[in-house]
Amino acid sequence: MQRDADALRDTGVTGVAVRLETPRGTVTARSGVGDLVTRRPVPQDGYLRLGSTTKTFVATVLLQLVGENRISLGQTVDQLLPGVVSGAGNDGRTITVRDLLQHTSGLSDYIHDVFPDPGSRTYFADRGRAYKPEELVDLAMRHEPAFPAGTRWAYSNTNYVLAGMIIEKVTGRTWEQQVHDRILRPLGLQHTDTPGTRPYLPYPRTANYQQFTADGPMVDTTIAYRPFDSGADGSMTGTARDLNRFLAALASGRLLKPAVLAAMTNTVPVPRDSGHPEGTRDGLGLFFTPLSCGGGYLGHGGSGFGYVVRAATTVDGRRTITVSAHSRSADPQNAARQEDALRDLVDHALCRTA
């Protein structure tokens, strides 16, 4: 695992951290530096931006509500949030809760409306602006849907903004409060948080760096980019230790009733051009990815400016890994090499302990 962490570093990633939990114990690896100024080591179990791994927490809360018969996966968005999804051909009467969680809604991804230009100038200009969930949905509603709900698959962060709004509508409490009460507190995940618009990561942490142009410098992006780092689709922070504990509890059935967990892991194919490994399938807040040694793993990735986090667990929850890479390249070929190295690390680690 150390060799694989070093191989990921050798693609140009400034800092790498890995934590693998197995029935035989915990294995960790670190490579690179904690920041480019002091060259300090990558910290042990430092705080991470979880990015879209937040979606797995949100999906788990919604599925707990399904298990409590407070909502159903077949309910439409319009039944739960009347009039919110409408305009430009969007129709909340045709989109179900399942469509949101499984990215089969066809809704436009609001990310395209708040993404900065290719250089870093607008990144810094826009970094501090936070949007309300309703504002993000309104941005997406300006665009026609990519396809009729339920007919195809396309990843859209808008789906999980709506999922967070549904949790609040059904329970009367925010998705953040529900995640704390239903997941973080029961599992003792004391180092995981829902910081909302608070932009700073606690210490210890590894600095994140984004290269905005292929020939440009590495820019420190450790502070959150609040236009898309502050909602139910990707705002949580935590540690690899906590994230592994969450995934292990989820896969082993400690958080969801058996029938509901089965629904969560009932998957649909992901298109080959989606950026996922061949054979990847999407459930409800969890992806299934094949292993080179046979079988596969459940998990979710998270990324933002300057970081990539990948969390994965075997289907029985007995072996769990979190990998964090703390810089991202603007060169497409190098970015692809980094992604391949990250995937190989996860695959090798889970196969060696299978």
What is the dihedral sign for C-alpha 244, 245, 246, 252?
A: positive
With cut-offs at 50, 70 and 90, classify the pLDDT of residue 197.
confident
In the predicted model, is pLDDT for residue 57 greater than 70?
yes
Position 312 pLDDT exceeds 60: yes
Residue with tokens 């600095």: 207
CA gap 117, 70 in Å, rounded: 42
* Helix-then-strand count for the chain, H and E: 13, 15
Is 90 exceeded by the pLDDT of residue 119? no
What does the pLDDT average to over 208-228? 95
pLDDT score for 125 = 92
Q: Residue 118's pLDDT is what? A: 77
Q: Are 245 and 187 in contact (CB under 8 A)?
A: yes
pLDDT of residue 25: 96
Residue 324 has pLDDT above 70, yes or no: yes
User: Does this model's pTM top 0.95?
Assistant: yes
Task: Give the per-residue pLDDT at 120.
Answer: 80
Closest CA to 131 of 109, 108, 92, 161: 161
- When the pLDDT of each residue in the chain is averaged and rounded to a whole number, the result is 96
Q: Decide if 297 contacts 315 (C-beta within 8 A).
A: yes
Mean pLDDT of 241-268: 98
Task: At 63, give phi and psi (nearest 5°).
Answer: -70, -30
Question: Taking the domains of the chain in order of start, what are their residue ranges?
Answer: 2-352
Q: Is residue 354 over pLDDT 80?
A: no
b/e sequence 98-121, b meaning 16+ C-beta within 10 Å: bbbbbbbbbbbbbbebbebeeebe
Q: For every residue of 247-312, which 3-state class applies, written as one string?
A: HHHHHCCCCCCHHHHHHHCCCEECCHHHCCCCCCEECCCCEEEECCCCCEEEEEEEEECCEEEEEE
- What are the catalytic residues? 52
Of the chain, the percentage scoring pLDDT greater than 90 comes to 95
Residue-level pLDDT at 353: 54
Report DSSP state, residue 119: S
Instruction: Report the C-alpha gap between 107 and 128 in whole angstroms.
Output: 26
Domain 2-352 bears CATH identifier 3.10.310.30: no
Place of tokens 């999980």: 160
